[in-house]
Amino acid sequence: MPNLQHILEQMRASERIRQAQQGLGRPIVAFKSGDRQIVAVGNKVYFSDKWKTFPDFLAAYATQKLGSDWGNAEIAKPLAERHPLMQWYDAYCKYQQATIKTPGEVCNANVTGIVACYLGLAYSLYLLDHNVEIQERLIGRLKDPANFQGAFYELFVANVLIRAGFQLTLEDESDGKSKHCEFAAVSRETGKKYWVEAKMGSAAGVLGKTHLDGGSGRKVLGRLIPNLNNALGKPATGERLIFIDLNVEPKFDRDNKPAWGDAAVKRIERYEAIELPKGASAYFFVTNIGFHRNLDGTPAPAMLPFGLGIPDFNRPGYMRLSEIYRQKRKHIDAHHIGESFLNYTKFPTTFDGSLPSEAFGAASSRVKIGDSYLFQNVGGADMVGTVTYAAVWESEKKAAISVTFTDGTSRILTQPMTDAEFGDYKAHPDVISGRFCRSVKGLRINTSFSSFSWKQTRDCLARRCCSASADLQISIRRSAIRICLPNTARRSSQPRPIQQRNQPDVEHRSAARPLALMPRKRESRKLAQFSGKAGSPLSRGRTDINSRALKKRGWPAQARP
For residues 172 and 136, the answer to whether their CB atoms sit within 8 Å is no
Whether residue 456 sits in one domain with residue 434: no
Q: Give me the CATH number covering residue 410.
A: 2.30.30
Whether residue 456 sits in one domain with residue 433: no
> Does residue 18 fall inside a structural domain?
no
Whether residue 478 sits in one domain with residue 418: no
Cα separation, 337 vs 157, whole angstroms: 10
Cα separation, 223 vs 234, whole angstroms: 17
Of the residues 387, 406, 441, which one is the last residue of a structural domain? 441
Q: What is the pLDDT along the chain (561 residues), one digit of tens a residue?
A: 456 776 787 788 788 888 888 888 999 999 989 889 999 998 899 999 889 999 999 999 999 999 989 999 999 999 999 999 999 999 999 999 888 888 778 888 889 999 999 999 999 999 999 999 888 889 999 999 999 999 999 999 999 999 999 999 987 666 556 667 888 999 999 999 999 999 999 888 888 888 777 777 678 888 899 999 999 988 888 899 999 999 999 988 888 888 999 999 999 999 999 999 988 999 999 999 999 999 999 999 999 999 999 998 988 878 788 888 899 999 999 999 999 999 999 999 899 888 887 777 656 667 777 788 888 888 788 888 888 888 888 888 888 888 898 888 898 888 888 777 787 787 777 665 555 443 333 333 344 444 444 344 333 333 333 333 333 333 333 333 332 222 333 333 332 222 222 323 222 233 333 444 555 444 445 554 555 544 433 323 333 333 333 233 344 333 333
Whether residue 431 sits in one domain with residue 393: yes
> Does residue 158 fall inside a structural domain?
no
Cα separation, 50 vs 61, whole angstroms: 13
Of the residues 424, 441, 458, which one is the last residue of a structural domain? 441
For residues 477 and 515, the answer to whether their CB atoms sit within 8 Å is yes
Phi-psi region of 104 (alpha: psi -120 to 50; beta: other; left: phi over 0): left
Cα separation, 544 vs 541, whole angstroms: 10
- Find the helix or strand (DSSP H, E) in which 372 lies: strand 372-378
CA distances from 193 to 108, 166, 241 (A): 39, 9, 10
Whether residue 396 sits in one domain with residue 458: no
Which range of residues forms the domain containing residue 456? 448-511
Q: First CA to last CA across the chain, in angstroms? A: 67
> Does residue 315 fall inside a structural domain?
no
Cα separation, 326 vs 221, whole angstroms: 33
Cα separation, 192 vs 186, whole angstroms: 6
Query: Of 337, 344, 366, which is closest to residue 354 (Cα–Cα)?
Result: 366
**Sign (positive/negative) of CA torsion 433, 435, 436, 439?**
negative
| Helix, coil or strand: residue 502 | coil
> Does residue 142 fall inside a structural domain?
no
CA distances from 408 to 256, 306, 367, 369, 391 (A): 53, 57, 20, 17, 22
**Sign (positive/negative) of CA torsion 110, 363, 404, 5?**
positive
Amino acid at 18: R
Query: Of 407, 527, 548, which is closest to residue 110 (Cα–Cα)?
Result: 527
How many domains, in total, are found in the chain?
A: 3
CA distances from 115 to 86, 90, 123, 288, 526 (A): 13, 12, 11, 17, 11
Whether residue 431 sits in one domain with residue 377: yes
For residues 163 and 343, the answer to whether their CB atoms sit within 8 Å is yes
> Does residue 179 fall inside a structural domain?
no
| Nearest 10 degrees: Cα torsion 119, 194, 244, 24 | -30
Whether residue 465 sits in one domain with residue 418: no
Whether residue 457 sits in one domain with residue 436: no
| Helix, coil or strand: residue 23 | coil
Q: What is the DSSP string of 212-238?
A: TTSB---STTTTHHHHHHHHHTS--SS
> Does residue 171 fall inside a structural domain?
no
Amino acid at 492: S
> Does residue 210 fall inside a structural domain?
no
Whether residue 58 sits in one domain with residue 92: yes
Cα separation, 79 vs 75, whole angstroms: 8
Whether residue 468 sits in one domain with residue 428: no
For residues 213 and 191, the answer to whether their CB atoms sit within 8 Å is no
List beta partners, residue 194: 185, 239
Of the residues 410, 426, 441, which one is the last residue of a structural domain? 441
> Does residue 384 fall inside a structural domain?
yes
Query: Of 184, 270, 260, which is closest to residue 217 (Cα–Cα)?
Result: 260
